[in-house]
Amino acid sequence: MAVPILDLSRSFRSVRAEITKSLNKLFDAQSFILGQPVKDFETHCENYLEIPENSAVGCASGTDALLLALMSIDIRPGDEVITTPFTFFATSGTIARLGAVPVFVDVDPDTFNINTDQALSAITPKTKAFLPVHLFGQMCALEEVIDEFHERGVKVIEDAAQAFGASRSVGGEIQRAGAVGDVGCYSFFPTKNLGGCGDGGMVVTLDKERAERLRRLRVHGSGTTYYHDEIGINSRLDAVQAAILDVKLRYLDEWNEARRNIADYYRLLIKLHDLQDYLTAPAELPGNHHIYHQYVVRVSERRDELMTYLGENGFSARVYYPLPLHLQPCFEYLGYSAGDFPVSEQLSHEVLALPVFPGLLESEQDALIECVAKFFRG
């Protein structure tokens, strides 16, 4: 048996005909930059996220979504942005790209999300923004701190690249990842829960003026063609990707539900095989609707050996993330050292992502967990 970490073809099968039809329409129209397909997809995302008209702005990638979001709140050289070291590189890469300073604080050992109390303690007079990540598809409890950040003049930008469709129930109200802070950022990289056939991204904001500004920033800061109010970038959501994503969006809830069922079944299997001393299943905070972009367990011992053993037996597993961002060579100039963020550092030695994707079979999960049991018990 060979079980890949991700097999996109299993879910693509069910949408292929619809996507082909939609692309043929686009090829007939030969209109590939912005236009109707992008507008339609933006509108459907607004409906899905239950946010007002014109608050979603498609762009070229999740990385650009972060960059545009930071530009839209005037992040400048020397400004501080509080963020997590346990995430994909783009979260801090974009901060540094603008000459601003990523200020790291550690994460929670159960959810892997940024420790919000420590984030509040990291505020200085230079702090302009707080940039939490809803890691692996589970939302941070932003409601606990958002008002205090705002009172202290700090904007909140959500990196929801892994969390399109994740939500959290707060006092009976549903909050959607990306639609809680001042600006929310999504990625449609092919491996994301809502993934295109290439790069894509989106920024959302409930502030009408900021949304207008984002629409200008994605076309070189130009409101009227060839007239530039400010210096922007070239970062449009490709019409081809928009047409594809628009079809896939209709299946997103179904696919996220499939991932949640897979997560439930892993949890059950870990118990049935009495593996709790070796594998800690990911925690889902009360109120959270986790969409399991990744199913990440903590392995108490010999993580790398286990990964190799699984690989030898046809089961692929991955480490997200092997080196926290404060220890990356490119961020040496920030002056952090090993030991600064013990939870993130320990996680980088213990985490292991197991296959989770729509279409993964229970028999494949059975075989994988049996293989884990064999590794630890022989």
Ligand X SMILES: *Cc1c(COP(=O)(O)O)cnc(C)c1O
Give whichever of 138 and 365 is closer to ligand X, judged by the CB atom: 138
**Distance in Å, CB of 21 to ligand X, minimum:** 26
Give whichever of 133 and 146 is closer to ligand X, judged by the CB atom: 133
Residue nearest to ligand X (CB): 62
Give whichever of 88 and 315 is closer to ligand X, judged by the CB atom: 88
Select from 24-32, 85-93, 95-103, 122-130 the region that touches ligand X (CB under 6 A): 85-93
Alpha-carbon distance of 350 to 297, in angstroms, equals: 8
Alpha-carbon distance of 58 to 238, in angstroms, equals: 9
**Distance in Å, CB of 87 to ligand X, minimum:** 5
Which residues pair with residue 173 across a beta bridge? 170
* 201 interacts with ligand X by CB under 6 A: yes
| Interface positions, 155-184, toward ligand X (CB under 6 A) | 159, 161-162
Alpha-carbon distance of 129 to 123, in angstroms, equals: 9
The tokens describing 235, both together, are: 């970062």
- Interface residue with ligand X among 55, 63, 241, 256 (CB under 6 A) is 63
**Distance in Å, CB of 61 to ligand X, minimum:** 4
* 365 interacts with ligand X by CB under 6 A: no
Per DSSP, 356 falls in state -
Whether residue 129 contacts residue 71, with contact meaning beta carbons closer than 8 Å, is answered with no
Whether residue 285 contacts residue 111, with contact meaning beta carbons closer than 8 Å, is answered with yes
- Interface residue with ligand X among 189, 278, 295, 331 (CB under 6 A) is 189
Give whichever of 61 and 365 is closer to ligand X, judged by the CB atom: 61
* 199 interacts with ligand X by CB under 6 A: yes
Alpha-carbon distance of 241 to 223, in angstroms, equals: 24
Select from 44-52, 88-96, 239-247, 297-305 the region that touches ligand X (CB under 6 A): 88-96
Select from 33-41, 60-68, 213-221, 264-272 the region that touches ligand X (CB under 6 A): 60-68
* 193 interacts with ligand X by CB under 6 A: no
Whether residue 221 contacts residue 213, with contact meaning beta carbons closer than 8 Å, is answered with no
Select from 59-67, 213-221, 283-291, 294-302 the region that touches ligand X (CB under 6 A): 59-67
> Residue 36's CB: how many other CB atoms inside 10 A?
14
Alpha-carbon distance of 211 to 157, in angstroms, equals: 14
Whether residue 222 contacts residue 34, with contact meaning beta carbons closer than 8 Å, is answered with no
**Distance in Å, CB of 227 to ligand X, minimum:** 29
- How is the beta sheet containing 279-280 ordered, strand by strand? 279-280, 295-299, 351-354
| Concatenated DSSP letters of 1-69 | --B-S--THHHHTTTHHHHHHHHHHHHHHT--BSHHHHHHHHHHHHHHHT--TT-EEEES-HHHHHHHH
* 238 interacts with ligand X by CB under 6 A: no
**Distance in Å, CB of 113 to ligand X, minimum:** 11
- Interface residue with ligand X among 3, 49, 90, 319 (CB under 6 A) is 90
* 88 interacts with ligand X by CB under 6 A: yes
Q: Which residues contact 106 (CB under 8 A, 6 or more apart)?
A: 85, 114, 115, 118, 341, 342, 343, 344
Whether residue 38 contacts residue 201, with contact meaning beta carbons closer than 8 Å, is answered with no
Select from 42-50, 71-79, 83-91, 232-240 the region that touches ligand X (CB under 6 A): 83-91
Alpha-carbon distance of 294 to 162, in angstroms, equals: 9
* 61 interacts with ligand X by CB under 6 A: yes
| Concatenated DSSP letters of 81-137 | EEE-SSS-THHHHHHHHTT-EEEE--B-TTT-SB-HHHHHHT--TTEEEEE-B-GGG
* 55 interacts with ligand X by CB under 6 A: no
**Distance in Å, CB of 199 to ligand X, minimum:** 6
- Interface residue with ligand X among 11, 72, 87, 111 (CB under 6 A) is 87
**Distance in Å, CB of 22 to ligand X, minimum:** 21
- Interface residue with ligand X among 11, 55, 72, 91 (CB under 6 A) is 91
* 133 interacts with ligand X by CB under 6 A: yes
Residues of this chain that bind ligand X (CB under 6 A): 61-63, 87-88, 90-91, 133, 159, 161-162, 187, 189, 199, 201
